[in-house]
Amino acid sequence: MLDLVGGKMLLMARFAPALAVALALMVAVDTIRVARAQVTLDVSKITCEQYTGHKVTNPQNIAIWMNGYYHGKRGDTTLDTQGLVANAKKLRDYCFRNRQTLVIQAVETLFGTDR
């Protein structure tokens, strides 16, 4: 009985590196498949309907991107987290009322680039 258990352990120890390599390859292939699924978005073409309906991505992601984009245009490197939340709510409310408007136009209307 002891030889049987010892033999199984020896066999497992012998194949452990091969099993680890196989597992690593499976994870790598899965990661490559996920990486190929990523897409690039033209934010200037997202409508309010798409924005509020979560059809492109989480609206919070778009609001954060827009905030950074417009702050960058103004050369403003500050981040007002409370203002970001409040402005995202204003944008959401505006978009619910103006579904066919482009989000970038809604942001221009609400906040402009000079504010």
The two tokens of residue 112 are 């402009």
Q: Which residue would you say has higher pLDDT here, 100 or 6?
A: 100
| Length, in residues, of the chain | 115
Count of Cβ atoms closer than 10 Å to residue 20 Cβ: 10
How do residues 44-61 score in pLDDT, each as one tens digit? 999 999 999 998 889 998
Judge if pTM exceeds 0.85: no
How do residues 4-58 score in pLDDT, each as one tens digit? 555 555 655 666 665 566 566 666 666 655 555 567 888 899 999 999 999 888 9
Report the pLDDT value the prediction gives residue 115, as an integer from 0 to 100: 47
